[in-house]
């Protein structure tokens, strides 16, 4: 079945530094979604990417979908302590949805 690998598992940064997490699939994806889960909380939807090479921005967050639609990244510019949490990619459309293992971001003030 479909699988998605997410790296790195953990990232510790100083406040103000940038952060990137990557998701990679061995198969071509129809779409990919990104979620954020704060410590003790539940996943919250951030964005969906559908088109090859798509780039979407939300303030300091930049989401990219690869040209081959097999990989995606989430980049945070100038991290803040409010960015702390675990970021997950998710693949699937109808039916079964599969989450990556997540990247946990710690930000040192």
Contacting positions for other proteins (CB under 8 A): 6, 31, 33, 41-45, 48, 88, 92-102, 104
Q: Pick the closest to residue 70 from 15, 30, 19, 12 (CA basis).
A: 30
> What does the block give as tokens for 5?
């690998």
Closest separation in Å from C-beta 74 to other proteins: 14
Q: Which is nearer to other proteins, 19 or 88 (CB)?
A: 88
Paired sense of beta strands 103-108 and 10-14, if any: parallel
Backbone angles phi, psi at 45, to 5 degrees: -60, 135
Closest separation in Å from C-beta 105 to other proteins: 14
User: Which residues sit opposite 37 in a β-bridge?
Assistant: 86
Q: Which is nearer to other proteins, 25 or 33 (CB)?
A: 33
Q: Which is nearer to other proteins, 14 or 26 (CB)?
A: 26
Angle value at C-alpha 63, between 58 and 66, nearest 5 degrees? 155
Closest separation in Å from C-beta 43 to other proteins: 5
């Amino acid at each position: 079945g479909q699988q998605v690998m997410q790296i790195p598992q953990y990232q510790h940064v100083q406040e103000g530094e940038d952060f990137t997490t990557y998701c990679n699939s061995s198969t071509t994806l129809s779409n990919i979604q990104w979620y954020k889960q704060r410590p003790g909380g539940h996943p919250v939807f951030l964005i969906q990417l559908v088109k090859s090479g798509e780039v979407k921005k939300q303030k300091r967050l930049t989401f990219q979908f690869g040209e081959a639609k097999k990989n995606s990244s989430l980049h945070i510019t100038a991290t803040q302590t409010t960015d702390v949490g675990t970021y997950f990619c998710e693949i699937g459309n109808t039916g079964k949805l599969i989450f990556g293992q997540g990247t946990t971001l710690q930000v040192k003030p």
